[in-house]
Amino acid sequence: MQVTVHDTIDDLGPAAIEPLEGSPLDFSYGVLRALERSLWGDLSVRYLAVNDGGALAAFTPLFVGTNLNFNALLPRLVQSGYAALLDSMGVGAGYSVAVAGCPLSDRGWIPTHPEADPHAVVKILLPEIEAVARACGADFLMLKDIHEKFPETGQFLKAGFVQTYSLPGVSLATPYGSFDEYIEHRTKNGRKHFRKNSRKAVERGLSVSFHEDFAELVPAVYPLFRQTFLKAKYHFEELSPYFYRECAASRSPRTELLVCEKEGRRVGSVMLVWNSREFAIKRVGVDYAHEESGLVYNVMMYEGMRRAIERGVPQVSLGQSTYVPKTRLGGVMQNLHLYLKGFKLSLHASFPVQRLWLRRYRSDRVLQTLGEPAE
Amino acid sequence: MRNVLLHVSGRPFVALHLLDALRARPEVAQVFLLDSTPERGPAKRAQGASPKLKIFSGELPTYQRGARGGVWQEFADEIDTVLYCGEGGGESGAEQAPDAGPLKSWLAFLEDRAEVRLGFLSTAFVAGRRRGLFTEFDLDCGQSFDDAWQRRAFESERLLRASAAGGRVTVYRPSHVVGDSRSGEAHAFGGLYPVLRALRRGRLNLLAGDARARLDIVPVNYVVNSLIELSLRPEVAGRTYHLVGGWHRSMPVKEFVRFVGSHGRGSVAKVFVVPPVLAGALRGRGERLATAAVFDDYMARVALEPRGLSCPPAESYLGPVIEFAEGRGWTAPGGSG
């Protein structure tokens, strides 16, 4: 096996990526290509591919830049202090971060071929990730959102990475023949919630439509996504309109835009991404000026679920926030971890404190404190 | 065919080039110039009326409601597009938004005439101190501002977007505008030019700013050609367009300083870029440049690139821009800045 480094996902291609297992949407050719083609600021990406006998055995993207919001989960004081540092001293005083993984990922797993040895893959890949991160001038390296069941986490710890919790991911299995069957399998409260929201949606005149080729709609719906991003509790990846336009053109995986309207006015939108193995409600946009933005959100989530079940996709990924409605939909929380390695002593020294702070994002603790505001 | 009224109460640099470009466009049947600048720069430069150009000097309310109302009535019904070049430029120290009066008048005009559209020349620096992406869909991101000029432009945009006629208003946000990308020609030397001049003369050896930030510069011909191209299309109403270089065509501040200082010379004057925190301490000995925001120009590129309009990289035209300004002794005809 050997590792090669590439500047574009086109070097690997959809046919080589498709058979890899782990996180079939977050690390898909189409999503990564859309990210690559919509990078902004000094953010850049490399792809580290493990090749075995001429075939792709595994790969991971490595994003490097100063504009990755690496401290989004840390205390507000740390975030505002870091922003003040940059404002007063300039970007040169800040940190350049390398993130191995998909910035959108919520079910991280190094995509590996089913016939490849995951231990050998991680063993050869990990030093290369670190070498490329250092060569790109990163001050620290983050392996982002690694699923708690990923079998090779021991190798990360052995290599000197510090494990912390990330926001839990929410997903659910959907072995249902119809949407009605899915609803029947919800709790009593869940069924009541669905009926109530369906009735209210009709009363309030909300309607939804689906658009596969939605590039032309980007100017209309991007403000909704943007509004949700700016209002969100956690500001992670900041996506430009180009990302949505590129996603509209993706065929591997497929993409679709759900648009919710009231009296001809667009009040919400959701981007749906899927292939035969997984379905993701990937980005949510809501017009918060609309008096019933909560209803709009719920309607879109239910319609997204309906779409997934109609397509016969066995697994639905719901993202990493807004846990109350997502658990009501039947979503199950799963622990995700960040693995951090500082190339500066000051950073490395801060990791134990970060590790303590980030324990609040362990799924059982998040469940206890459910009730965060909708994103 | 369009009948365009160009109202200039500031930004003479862009307005002067805009006037020339409007007169040259075959799709524009008639240009009305309302010059409200104190020095009447655009009206002077136009060198008198012509069959395609009618010139009016003075304040807008004077025409709409005052003694010259009869004159106003003669041409008001012919206008279908208004382009308003407001205060801008940062020269005025007034806290009150000087554009509020004219803009309110134009909004009232739009409410009376459903067929008229308004284009407002704002600035990408309404982003203020925002760090991160700043898109054409953004305005209020909770940002603070470096100066009163940025805040005034921001308030003007808010006024327009909150208006009932806001759906017929197009906002154009250029970044730092310099001369023509081919000839370097500039009809005025305000905006970034004092910095260019100081760097060329070696008088500016302290520059407050972020050395690793990038300076977004855009040539005036790209701004005016884009603005006119967009103004002539009905679908732009209600939208905002960034007429900027964007990240990949911008220059790191350090590189900009080196380029300007060394262009056509063997040596480079020593210029130190000091952290923004020291900007206040410099007290006029340095200029604050660059912004933490990255301007996204998705809408402009989607609309303009198919029409062959794109912003060239700064390195390709900064040379001619400097040469032209030096050839004119950094003084525009009539001394207009």
Dist CA B262 CA B268 (whole Å) = 5
Which residue of B lies nearest to A224 if distances are taken between CA atoms? Answer: B137
Chain B positions contacting chain A at CB under 8 Å are 129, 131-133, 135, 137-138, 141, 209-213, 239, 247, 275-277, 292, 294, 296, 298-299
Alpha helix positions (H), chain B: 12-24, 41-45, 60-64, 69-76, 100-112, 148-162, 193-201, 220-231, 253-262, 279-282, 298-304, 314-327
Q: Residue A197 has what pLDDT?
A: 96
* Residue of A83, A222, A245 with shortest CB distance to B137: A222
Q: How far is A179 from chain B (nearest CA, A)?
A: 36
More confident residue, B40 or B151: B151
Rounded to two decimals, the pTM is 0.91
Q: Which residues of A touch B141 (CB under 8 A)?
A: 230
Q: Residue B93 has what pLDDT?
A: 41
Cβ separation A92–B211 shorter than 8 A:
yes
* Residue of A40, A66, A92 with shortest CB distance to B133: A40
Q: Residue A157 has what pLDDT?
A: 96
* Residue of A40, A89, A223 with shortest CB distance to B277: A89
Q: How far is B335 from chain A (nearest CA, A)?
A: 36
Which residue of A lies nearest to B241 if distances are taken between CA atoms? Answer: A219
Chain A, chain B: beta-carbon pairs less than 8 Å apart:
65
Cβ separation A88–B277 shorter than 8 A:
yes
The C-alpha angle with vertex A266 and arms to A260 and A268, in degrees rounded to 5, equals: 50
For A59, the 3-state DSSP assignment is strand
pLDDT exceeds 70 at position B69: no
Which residue of B lies nearest to A66 if distances are taken between CA atoms? Answer: B132
Interface test with A, best of B143, B210, B235, B272 (most A CBs within 10 A): B210
- Could you tell me the mean pLDDT of each successive run of 10 residues in chain A, 375 residues long? 96 95 90 96 96 94 92 90 88 90 80 94 96 96 92 95 94 94 93 95 96 96 95 86 97 96 96 94 91 94 96 92 86 93 89 93 84 42
Residues 6+ apart with CB under 8 A from B254: B211, B212, B273
Spatial CA neighbour of A332 closest among A312, A357, A315, A307: A315
Q: How far is A93 from chain B (nearest CA, A)?
A: 10
For B132, the 3-state DSSP assignment is strand
For B25, the 3-state DSSP assignment is coil
* Residue of A86, A88, A245 with shortest CB distance to B131: A86
Chain A positions contacting chain B at CB under 8 Å are 40-42, 66-67, 83, 86-93, 218-219, 222-223, 226, 230, 238, 240-242, 245
Q: Residue A37 has what pLDDT?
A: 96
Q: Which residues of B touch A40 (CB under 8 A)?
A: 133, 247, 294, 296
Span B309-334, average pLDDT: 90
The answer to whether the CB of B110 falls within 8 A of the CB of B33 is: no
pLDDT exceeds 70 at position B97: no
* Residue of B135, B213, B275 with shortest CB distance to A226: B135
Q: Residue B280 has what pLDDT?
A: 66
Cβ separation B135–A241 shorter than 8 A:
yes
Q: What ipTM was predicted for this assembly?
A: 0.90
